[in-house]
Amino acid sequence: MDILLSFYLFVLGAVLGSFFNVVALRVPLRESIVRPPSRCPACGARLKGRDLIPIASWLASRGTCRHCGTRVSPLYPLGEAATGLLFAWAYATYGWRPETLIGCLLVSLCVIVTVSDIRYMLIPNRVLLVFAPILAIARLWAPHGPIWSHLLGAVVGGGLLLLVALLSKGGMGLGDVKLFALLGGIIGLPQIPVALVAACLAGTIVGLLLLATGRVKRKQPIPFGPFLAFGALLAYGYGTQWIAAYVSILS
């Protein structure tokens, strides 16, 4: 693995991650993603070049606005760092191949829906509508397995979550169902149930931790999109090996 290329992908990811934060925070409010330029939500000061360096600006100002001192959410640098690290991870996992581009697109989708879902408890339709055709074309261009496994992945992913949504009577939104159908189409059939298991495990652990630390109350809904995204990325990177290991234990 080329260190320089990994570093380049990290920087590219962090810069794009900064844009993904804007997309994730503005699209649900039906605001433009290019205008107006970024401002401090508290004092309205326009952010300049030195305020817009991914991760570094937030660290340099110790997580506050340079003008009014209001706390800036750690969601911003976390989204940037996560995108950078996951771009580098996609390259480390798949090397210099078309699959890495699909991996980076998948990471991009996952970061945007995670930030939107944490902030607004919703997964924007418009983000899914932009990513779906791009990912479908990328998948046709560089299939991971047979095409039917991707089509079935979408059907099984969407179907499983639709079942959960119907059983939970509104506990899970249709945004989650659509997201998981799209994720299923990208990562394919044997992997998508693995993604759901990983998402449920992560959701349960984090939910219990939030409950134990008093960050959320009983019966308070927590967004499930971030866990679906997390599960899909894990299954995308390691699902094949996990399934092989599981089968070898059984046989």
Where does this chain bind Zn ion (CB under 5 A)?
A: 40, 42-43, 45, 65, 67-68, 70
- Minimum Å gap between C-beta 42 and Zn ion is 5
Buried b (16+ CB within 10 A) or exposed e, 11-47: eebbbbbbbbbbbbbbbbeeeeeeeeebebeeeeeee
Specify the residue for token string 């990325």.
233
Q: What is the helix (H) or strand (E) element at residue 210, kind and residue range?
A: helix 192-212
When the beta carbons of 74 and 171 are compared against Zn ion, the nearer one is 74
When the beta carbons of 45 and 155 are compared against Zn ion, the nearer one is 45
- Minimum Å gap between C-beta 48 and Zn ion is 12
Rounded Cα distance, 189 and 195, in Å = 10
Whole-angstrom Cα Rg for the chain: 19
- Minimum Å gap between C-beta 39 and Zn ion is 8
When the beta carbons of 44 and 133 are compared against Zn ion, the nearer one is 44
Rounded Cα distance, 186 and 154, in Å = 8
- Minimum Å gap between C-beta 23 and Zn ion is 22
When the beta carbons of 45 and 75 are compared against Zn ion, the nearer one is 45
When the beta carbons of 72 and 127 are compared against Zn ion, the nearer one is 72
- Minimum Å gap between C-beta 82 and Zn ion is 24
- How open is the CA angle 187-190-191, to the nearest 5 degrees? 45
Q: What type of residue is 215?
A: R
Q: What is the helix (H) or strand (E) element at residue 102, kind and residue range?
A: helix 98-120
